[in-house]
């Protein structure tokens, strides 16, 4: 029986699903899979991209844990592709590789002033409040009025985590440095800006409903944004998700806080629709002072057009949540425009010639861009795995495919990698930290501490 030695780079949902699907697939060869992850812990954006007050989404970790705990996938954590292990190394020891490295940095927003002091990418803030080991431990929350550009789930996550009172996060796995930072926050007003109308938003009803449930936070919406055209009315009538979103927003219009009138909470969350960001104004120190936006309106065909009316909202900090973007990998083709590895259904292509690169595959957001929910990642992985299986004749021919080769290689380079037993040690340690306070866990944040605990040092 043919033996397939496969490397998967990235231990988030995309990489774990691909491994699971391949191991369960009907095939005429034996499979041995090694999963490489640059962080000391697995699960990718489910651990480091989902707000700590979203335990339902984190339930996905249970399914991912079940896959890893079967014991038929080896995991090498704290191993950086391109530094600790290279594409040439993978060709030397494996028949093929699947890249599942996701998209973790912020997409650009090209408007004047966006590089101002206190203008941030949402992904960096998310990494901070999720306790990512490679970002600073402190985050400046010294602004009273803050803007968030975007109308997707990440924009709402960021807005909620700016407006929420720190003590309401103590039931979650929020790290102590994040709790202390949020506790000292000066934020009183969060303004969320979307280019389109309420019937064209990208976020889900669940995310929106959670905003309205925040303690001591008034939801502020503006009547002028709800003068629906025929296309918007049709969307509300024909799409259940849009209908639910509209129902939630309409219920907020009946609250005292609408149009800034009469709210009694200590914090306010303002939703501005039909607002296209035009410019970030700065003060004499180069810090964010205001966002200038143009009022837009529907073009009647699902798009928007500008009205020429400019407005300005004063603020002292700004977050752009306009999407994630992939990062290039050493030696691997990369599409700089779209932030993905160029591919045809997961088979990686040379960027210029469009010719297939034998033995190299992609899945997840680095394959298709940062679109779709976690469920889409499974079907995405199935497509990639199907091609990998059918491409058996064009796999690499490794010089040393033995399973002992990789630990020996990493050892020789002084790489302090972590394995599945190590993740179990770290997992148990975090759960134990949370137990005295009746919390599910408290995350360990410093990379060095994660590695030391995982390795039992």
Q: Is the pLDDT of residue 35 over 60?
A: yes
Instruction: List, for residues 66-115, the tens digit of each pLDDT value.
Output: 999 999 999 999 999 999 999 999 999 999 999 999 998 999 999 999 99
Comparing 406 with 353, the larger pLDDT belongs to: 406
Q: Is the pLDDT of residue 259 over 70?
A: no
Q: Is the pLDDT of residue 262 over 60?
A: no
Q: Is the pLDDT of residue 62 over 80?
A: yes
How far is it, in rounded angstroms, from Cα 267 to Cα 163?
Answer: 7
Nearest to 40 by CA among 453, 329, 364, 429: 453
CATH top class, domain 2-104+326-417: alpha beta
Nearest to 389 by CA among 9, 79, 98: 98
Tokens of 152: 């997707």
Q: Is the pLDDT of residue 40 over 70?
A: yes
Query: For the chain, what are the domain ranges?
Result: 2-104+326-417, 106-320
Q: Is the pLDDT of residue 222 over 70?
A: yes
**For every residue of 223-237, which 3-state class applies, written as one string?**
HHHHCCCHHHHHHHH
How far is it, in rounded angstroms, from Cα 429 to Cα 294?
Answer: 50
Instruction: List, for residues 373-385, the tens digit of each pLDDT value.
Output: 777 888 999 999 9
Pairing state between β 288-298 and 267-272: unpaired
Mean pLDDT of the chain: 93
- At 9, the pLDDT band (50, 70, 90 cuts) reads very high
Kindly state the average pLDDT of the residues 412-431: 97
Which CATH number is associated with domain 106-320?
3.50.50.60
Give the DSSP letter string of 286-301: SBEEEEEEEEEEE-SS
Q: Is the pLDDT of residue 260 over 60?
A: no
Tokens of 323: 């999407």
Kindly state the average pLDDT of the residues 292-321: 94
How far is it, in rounded angstroms, from Cα 54 to Cα 228?
Answer: 32
Q: Give the percent of the chain with pLDDT over 70.
A: 98
Task: Say how many C-beta atoms besides its own lie within 10 A of residue 222's C-beta.
Answer: 15
Q: Give residue 270's pLDDT.
A: 96
Q: Give residue 261's pLDDT.
A: 55
């Amino acid at each position: 029986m043919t033996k397939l030695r496969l490397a998967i780079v990235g231990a988030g949902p995309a990489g774990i699903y691909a491994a699971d699907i391949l191991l369960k697939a009907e095939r005429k060869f034996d499979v041995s899979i090694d999963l490489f992850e640059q962080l000391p812990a697995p699960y990718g954006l489910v651990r480091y991209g989902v707000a700590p007050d979203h335990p339902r989404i984190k339930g996905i970790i249970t399914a991912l844990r079940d896959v890893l705990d079967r014991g038929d996938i080896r995991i090498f954590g704290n191993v950086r592709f391109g530094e600790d292990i290279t594409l040439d190394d993978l060709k030397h020891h494996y028949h093929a590789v699947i890249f599942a490295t996701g998209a973790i940095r912020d997409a650009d927003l090209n408007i004047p002033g966006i590089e101002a002091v206190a203008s941030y990418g949402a992904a960096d803030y998310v990494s901070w409040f999720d306790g990512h080991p490679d970002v600073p431990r402190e985050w400046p929350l010294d602004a009273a009025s803050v803007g968030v550009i975007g109308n997707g789930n990440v924009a709402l996550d960021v807005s909620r985590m700016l407006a929420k009172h720190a003590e309401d996060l103590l039931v979650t796995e929020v790290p102590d440095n994040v709790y202390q930072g949020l506790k000292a926050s000066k934020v009183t007003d969060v303004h969320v800006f979307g280019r389109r109308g309420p019937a064209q938003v990208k976020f889900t009803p669940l995310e929106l409903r959670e905003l309205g449930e925040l303690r001591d936070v008034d939801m502020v919406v503006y009547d002028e944004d709800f003068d629906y055209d025929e296309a918007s009315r049709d969307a509300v009538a024909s799409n259940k998700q849009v209908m639910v979103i509209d129902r939630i927003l309409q219920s907020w219009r009946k609250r005292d806080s609408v149009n800034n009138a009469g709210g009694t909470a200590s914090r306010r969350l303002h939703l501005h629709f039909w607002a296209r960001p035009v410019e970030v104004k700065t003060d004499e120190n180069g810090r964010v002072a205001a966002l200038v936006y143009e009022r837009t309106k529907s073009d009647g065909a699902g798009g928007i057009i500008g009205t020429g009316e400019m407005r300005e909202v004063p603020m002292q900090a700004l977050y752009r949540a306009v999407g994630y973007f992939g990062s290039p990998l050493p030696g691997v083709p990369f599409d700089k425009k779209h932030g993905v590895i160029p591919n045809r259904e997961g088979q990686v292509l040379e960027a210029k010639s469009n010719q297939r690169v034998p033995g190299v595959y992609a899945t997840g957001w680095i394959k298709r861009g940062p679109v779709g929910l976690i469920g889409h990642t499974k079907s995405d992985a199935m497509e990639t795995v199907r091609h990998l299986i059918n491409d058996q004749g064009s796999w690499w021919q490794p010089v040393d495919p033995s399973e002992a080769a990789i630990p020996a290689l990493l050892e020789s380079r002084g790489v302090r990698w972590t394995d599945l037993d190590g993740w179990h040690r770290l997992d148990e340690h975090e759960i134990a930290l949370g137990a005295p306070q009746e919390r599910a866990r408290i995350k360990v944040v410093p990379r060095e501490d994660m590695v030391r605990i995982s390795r039992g040092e």
